Structure 1
Amino acid sequence: MRAGTVIRLCRDKSRSRIAAGQRRLSWPGGLARRKMEVVMATPESMPDGAPTAVVVIDTEGTVIGWTPAAEELLGYRAAEILNRSGALLLTPERAAAWDARYGDQEHWSGFAEARHRDGTRILVHVEGDRLVTPGEQPGWLVAVTPATAGPTGRACSWVEPLIRRTPVAMAIWDRDLRCVWLNAAAEGLRTVFPHYELGRSLTEPLPGSRTEAAQEAMRTVLTSGVPQLDREARWTSVDLHEDRTLSTSLFRLDGVDGRPLGVCSVAIDISHSRSRDRLALLREASVRIGSTLDVRKTAQELADLAVPALADYVTVDLAESVLPDTAPLQRLAATELRIPAFRRAGVASIHEGIPESLWSLGQVVFVPPSSPFTEVLLSGHSHFEPVMNTSAGTWLDQDPERAEVINDTGMHSLVVVPLKARGDILGVAVFVRHDNPEPFTRDDLILAEELGTRAALSLDNARQYTRERTAALALQRDLLPRNLTGGGAVDVVSHYLPSGVHDGVGGDWYDAIPLRDGRVALVIGDVTGHGINAAATMGRLRTAVRTLAYLGLPPDELLANLDDLVVRLAEEDAGPDGFPDAEGATCVYAAYDPGTRHCSMAVAGHPPPAIVAPTGEVSFLRPPSGAPIGLGLGSFQSVDLELAEGSLIVLYTDGLIETREADIEAGIDRLGAALARAAPHPLAKICTTVIRAMVGDTGSEDDIALLVARTR
């Protein structure tokens, strides 16, 4: 090669064409005895101020050419490196591996770790081309480009512009898990993943970012070389305060000698992908729909969930059988153009005031006989109309009010889904789009049907619960005394409050039984369990207590006989396996004699009765408490006390004092304070005042029975 020779490497179309940009190349005097200026080409995509470092190495691995860019990148001046081994620039044992692997090739490229003069490692991309030196000796022209993107370096492939502009976030991490290169998409995710920053290591702790799992995954890839694909992780954006989900794949970057140099991460933001949004909506439906056993609330939950995630406007209309407490639809007048088919149970819209709805919650919904709603109700199959046909000659001709709303609001896409459970069609859910210009798709139909199925099961459960609760409550009220009287011994009032949660009606009961000798028996009890069975058991126990009370038995003997009776009845009603069904109850039985002002009382596993003196002082009587009724352990003891005229005897069930947050003793203390405040009020107001003070407006988790008697 003569002085001034221009080295122009022209490759095929798959390689970058080295063209513009001149660099001065230093040769050792041992080869040409002088320095030669060689115009070195750099990639066309290379920006100003970011030259490629060019090194010439002979077949022995000796550096025989050096550019200022190489000095800038690696720190060695030409005089310090020329005629010396290239091993200074690399890990020593790797130079031989390069020659063994690429010695017979005209061109090669790959990643490597270069060593700076100060000892630090630099992840670089190297590209080698065979050449002949001025002394007609073979050698290699090696272009070295740092992998990091910065003022003096850049990524080095001809596909680099494409990679930098791809919407997929890409980054390269060295063996210390330090970010050495990233594209624009990764920089855009820095608010989500702040470690997307040049020079920042994953091991560096940052507020609100935990990278332990990412570190472990990268180290595993570095060690094994096995890629990890589609690793989902949720991160919180520090500026928008919203969760973002990234799907990240990791694969190892190997050097030209085959050894691992780092990890490349490829991340896609899948926070708002359609499939993921649908799965998230179904997951939310399993939590939000059917949160209570209330039919109307369940219907409204479906409407609220689907707007705006699936539709702009949603209605849930239910058949009369699902709403048993409403007037029969059959009594409403029908015409040839419309029939009463549903009642509106749920409605939601993206517009305030819901201008699309012709009927409010609870109102009867009329439909034309030829409408899609009637068709779905009769066939049990969904109606799918991605582009609504509002032209003349359709069912809308029979429903001008709906036609007007459709035209005014711009409704253009419709899905009607049957709400079907256990073979019964409970109603229909209607999904409409107007502001959203996209028509419903088949995937939207499947999603709407899935939401409808889940809602229908919850509606059916609520319907069954409502029916059973209504029947149990009716039975409970029929079995409780309607005209409670304390005879001439006491003035008595009572209050029963069914539970607002769980199974609703339980087996709480109370009674006041005037006896022949002028005394009065006061009873309160609580049967285990809820529902119709508990109410029926309560009725049997109340009848048995009345029968035993008329025999004039003292409280302890009465409870012992009641216990024995319940055990015998359970044995007679034993199931097929021969074991009796457990029927347990707690009970307080008190007998008051107004002539002597003596009160005798016995307790079977029940909370202690309260006594309020005329002065307002509250005390809780704690006689020896026997086991609950029905266990067959019938050992009970009575306690006698004398009451002043005007004293209050307060009997109650555990629903009044028990809560999830506090134990029974804390509830008893609260009850004592409530009784002290309520005692001056008239007897009729004491019950409501005490219950309001104990449970407020939220209701109780269990039934509450309260019996208050004032001695005469």
Structure 2
Amino acid sequence: MPTTVGPHEFLDASSDAAAVLSAEGDVIGWTRGAEALLGRPAAAVLGRPAARLLAMRVDPARAAGVAERCRSGMGWSGLVPVRHHDGRSVVVDLRVSASFRIDGAECFLLSAREQRPQWAMGQSVLDGFLTRSPIGMAVMDLELRYVWLNDTLEQFGGVPREQRLGRRLSELLPGLQGSTIEALMRKVLATREPVTDYEYLGWSWSDPHRQRAYSTSFFPLVAPDDSVTGVCYLVSDVTERWTARQLLSMVNEAGTRVGTTLDVLRTAQELADFAVPRFADFVIVDLLEPVLSAEGHGAWLTDAGPAPARPVMRRAALRTVREGSPEAVAQVGDTVDFLPPPHGVDLLISGDAVLIPELDPEDHLWITHQPERAARIREFGLHSLISVPMRARDTTLGLTTFARSRNPASFQSDDVLLAQELVARAALCVDNARRYTREHTAAVTLQRSLLPQVLTGGTALDVASSYLPADATGGVGGDWFDVIPLSGARVGLVVGDVVGHGLAAAASMGRLRTAVQTLADMEMPPDELLAHLDDLVLRLGDEGNAAAAVAGSTDTFVGATCLYAVYDPVGRRCTMARAGHPPPVVVTPDGHAYFPEIPAGPPLGLGGMAFEATEIELAEGSLFGLYTDGLIEGTDQDVELGMARLRAALASPGTDLDTLCTAAVQQLVPVPQPDDIALLLARTQALGADQVVSWDVPVDPAAVAEVRAKAVRQVAEWGYGELAATTELIVSELVTNAIRYAEPPISLRLLRDSRLTCEVADASSTAPRLRHARSTDEGGRGLFLVAQLAHRWGARYTGAGKIIWAEQEIPGG
């Protein structure tokens, strides 16, 4: 018998085929769903009796009874066979609505859906499904005691079914977070809301040393009277998923904890620190000796042919769970030869990781051959081991070994994968550190070789210097300084800073320092020297840009700053000019410190702008300091505050110059900085009146003899009688040339400091030229003789003309 339904149920026809019938049983409405169900278009059905669609004999009495029920306001439903357009019979679940009217005519709404056969499952099949399901299942009563469980759940915990039934989880498996799980069950009983996918760690009695991960879901069991009779929970073993997630998490964390610095030993120690105790109880990192060498060309290349038969390794890092690392036979820094089987060099070059799940000192010859190592293994219970070769970029670096002692679980294949990943990441960091150390050492060596090894200010200046390279993270910079002896007892002081860091900056610094020395030897005044240096920097920049374009690089030489000063001890005058560099600091003999006002000038490399020189007078005993910006910037990057600190640090009259220089740098820069730091201090001296003599020379050839005689007498008075003849010839040639070819006024000056200097000044700007006279020439040998007799000679230009000078070495000076 078809079942009847209430009027509210048959209106749910969202997925049904529908039709409207008139009181006479004719079809007056046909939906697309009906067309799809029976394959009959609306044109073939509308206006025709619905009885023609039935696949059974029409029962008029039954049809009348259904119609009467629908007219009373009720509905009807039942299974009815209907005929498809292709002739086959389709059983549909037919629903007829209560009658209603359209334009006053009585109508009925019919909806139908195909009735497909359902699978009938026997009780034996259901029991087998529940019992042998790969998911653990259990039913607990209201007191959370086991009522039923399947075979899978019994295997998970390792507790027999007979021991579980009638007892609670917390009583049987306390290690499985029993209290927490029971709290979740009580919540489900109270709220009737299921809890899904709760993960926790546990263990099994069959393998109590290895943790397992489980995912559990809970839902209430409700009786027909809507009362809660218990709770059911489902358990699945998700150890592989959990392990993969943990391994990924550990590897990601290792990426942030290992390799934080560009230091080989620090990186190796970070690997050991990270792995203990979360992964192993004892970790050692042994690196090949070349990896740790200062030269740093590193290790064996994997494809570079045969390696040494016996590798020389050194312990780079060590970490254990025990205080003092008693398990270790060798400590950090010791030479080691630890290689597990196969213990040949091939393990390091191309071998895979070595896994020894059960480490027995009595079963491994490579252990028994070293009694001390075997004794440590037995004493501290090292029972499982993994050794992973450390390789990166086809380069063999060393070996990392993990061992367990307190952790009772042996290493498994999954642990090898994690160990390999940790070592691979650390190997890249070690190789980066090795390469950086090698390049940094080369750059620092180059940089120091390009800086002056010995500084001397002659009798004009006492000098001291301090240089600190940038820290390892910043790389070497291009700071430099120099003290250049000049003619007339003068001294040139220079300090500069090349933009950028690295080998390129150090090489550019060396080129600029050489250029400054060359230009200073040409006796150029400071402003002209900077102008020529600016042209050189522009040319270097063009060359660098062209080379970078060819190589596809972005590293170019972009500029520099510089300050050049010339101190004359005769007049105690200092002439200086700067190109974008901080001004010098001057400390008077009474301790007053100040910064002279000097036009800043543009940095070198911009071109098209002039430099301006400034001259100041320095009292004897004044302190003159040149420095680079790294000294005054500090950690706060406040240049004005740094200059104030520098001024205060140098305002210490009477302090030894070397001590003052070192103390000032330590005070201003107590920690390593990312920029180079250079400080050059000079304490001024003055040439006394008894060290300088000068005469005016009339423009008369007859005056040569008189001036020559005065010079010889003065040299004799100074006690340099052995230089009298040479001085006489030099004075005679220089004064004669000035009278013949130069313009008045003409003067002669003798200076006595570390050398004896003869200077002839005139108002002409014509440069002298050394000539090699032929044997038939009557003249042209004057300057040639001067060059042969003097230690050095040259010319420099002044605002009033030029000066020709010649120096002689003082015997015993």
When normalised by structure 2's length, the TM-score is 0.53
Counterparts of 1:8-27 in structure 2 under 5 Å? none
Match of 1:707 among 674, 680, 687: 680
Q: What SS does the corresponding residue of 2:541 show, helix, strand or coil?
A: helix
Is the aligned partner of 1:597 residue 2:572? yes
Deviation at 1:297, TM superposition (A): 0.8
Contact 1:376 1:428 in 2 (8 A): no
Partner of 1:324: 293
Counterparts of 1:612-691 in structure 2 under 5 Å? 612-676=587-651, 680-691=654-665
Partners of 1:440 and 1:299 in 2: how far apart? 22
- CA deviation digits over 1:254-300, x for unaligned, max 9? 9x9xxxxxxxxx999x9x96555434432332122111111111111
Partner of 1:692: 666
- CA deviation digits over 1:649-684, x for unaligned, max 9? 11111222223434222222222222235x542111
Contact 2:144 2:182 in 1 (8 A): no
In structure 2, the CA distance between the partners of 1:250 and 1:637, relative to structure 1 (3 Å rule), is: farther
Superposition RMSD in Å: 4.3
Q: What SS does the corresponding residue of 1:513 show, helix, strand or coil?
A: strand
Partner of 1:467: 438
Partner of 1:383: 354
Partners of 2:220 and 2:144 in 1: how far apart? 22
Partners of 1:584 and 1:626 in 2: how far apart? 13
Contact 2:284 2:315 in 1 (8 A): yes
Partner of 1:299: 268
Aligned residue type for 2:258: I
Match of 1:285 among 254, 260, 275: 254
- CA deviation digits over 1:11-37, x for unaligned, max 9? xxxxxxxxxxxxxxxxxxxxxxxxxxx
- CA deviation digits over 1:90-109, x for unaligned, max 9? xxxxxxxxxxxxxxxxxxxx
Contact 1:312 1:436 in 2 (8 A): yes
Deviation at 1:702, TM superposition (A): 1.4
Contact 1:165 1:184 in 2 (8 A): no
Is the aligned partner of 1:506 residue 2:489? no
Partners of 1:327 and 1:577 in 2: how far apart? 30
In structure 2, the CA distance between the partners of 1:393 and 1:366, relative to structure 1 (3 Å rule), is: closer
Contact 1:508 1:527 in 2 (8 A): yes
Match of 2:547 among 549, 560, 575: 575
Q: Tell me, which stretches of 5 or more residues in structure 2 are unaligned? A: 1-138, 147-166, 171-177, 201-213, 225-233, 300-308, 686-813
Partners of 1:502 and 1:509 in 2: how far apart? 20
Is the aligned partner of 1:516 residue 2:511? no
In structure 2, the CA distance between the partners of 1:673 and 1:576, relative to structure 1 (3 Å rule), is: closer
Partners of 1:663 and 1:249 in 2: how far apart? 62
Q: What SS does the corresponding residue of 1:625 show, helix, strand or coil?
A: coil
Q: What SS does the corresponding residue of 1:591 show, helix, strand or coil?
A: strand
Q: What SS does the corresponding residue of 1:281 show, helix, strand or coil?
A: helix
Counterparts of 1:487-502 in structure 2 under 5 Å? 487-502=458-473
**Greater helix fraction, Structure 1 or Structure 2:** 2
Contact 1:610 1:649 in 2 (8 A): yes
Deviation at 1:622, TM superposition (A): 4.1
Contact 2:280 2:403 in 1 (8 A): yes
Percent identical across equivalent pairs?
A: 48
Partners of 1:488 and 1:508 in 2: how far apart? 27
Counterparts of 1:205-604 in structure 2 under 5 Å? 274-275=243-244, 277-325=246-294, 339=310, 341-367=312-338, 372=343, 374-392=345-363, 394-573=365-544, 574-575=546-547, 577=549, 581-604=556-579
Q: Tell me, which stretches of 5 or more residues in structure 1 are unaligned? A: 1-155, 168-182, 190-195, 201-221, 233-245, 257-265, 331-337
Contact 2:296 2:438 in 1 (8 A): no
Partners of 1:329 and 1:692 in 2: how far apart? 35
Counterparts of 1:169-188 in structure 2 under 5 Å? 185=180
Deviation at 1:360, TM superposition (A): 2.0
Partner of 1:106: none
- CA deviation digits over 1:85-134, x for unaligned, max 9? xxxxxxxxxxxxxxxxxxxxxxxxxxxxxxxxxxxxxxxxxxxxxxxxxx
Contact 1:501 1:702 in 2 (8 A): no
Q: What SS does the corresponding residue of 1:626 show, helix, strand or coil?
A: coil
Q: What SS does the corresponding residue of 2:633 show, helix, strand or coil?
A: coil
Contact 2:479 2:497 in 1 (8 A): yes
Partners of 1:438 and 1:229 in 2: how far apart? 27
Q: What SS does the corresponding residue of 1:463 show, helix, strand or coil?
A: helix
Deviation at 1:310, TM superposition (A): 0.9
Partner of 2:8: none
Match of 1:161 among 144, 147, 158: 144
Aligned residue type for 1:345: A
Contact 1:320 1:328 in 2 (8 A): no
Contact 1:593 1:599 in 2 (8 A): yes
When normalised by structure 1's length, the TM-score is 0.61
Partners of 1:580 and 1:704 in 2: how far apart? 23
Partners of 2:217 and 2:292 in 1: how far apart? 52
- CA deviation digits over 1:554-594, x for unaligned, max 9? 22221111011111233245237489933311111111111
Deviation at 1:302, TM superposition (A): 0.8
- CA deviation digits over 1:196-230, x for unaligned, max 9? 9x999xxxxxxxxxxxxxxxxxxxxx9xx9x9988
Aligned residue type for 1:630: G
Aligned residue type for 2:489: G
Contact 1:564 1:634 in 2 (8 A): no
Deviation at 1:249, TM superposition (A): 9.9
Deviation at 1:363, TM superposition (A): 1.7
Contact 2:541 2:559 in 1 (8 A): no
Larger radius of gyration: 2
Partners of 2:242 and 2:640 in 1: how far apart? 54
Number of paired residues? 484
Deviation at 1:414, TM superposition (A): 0.7
Contact 2:601 2:612 in 1 (8 A): yes
Aligned residue type for 2:261: T
Contact 2:492 2:564 in 1 (8 A): yes
In structure 2, the CA distance between the partners of 1:463 and 1:686, relative to structure 1 (3 Å rule), is: same
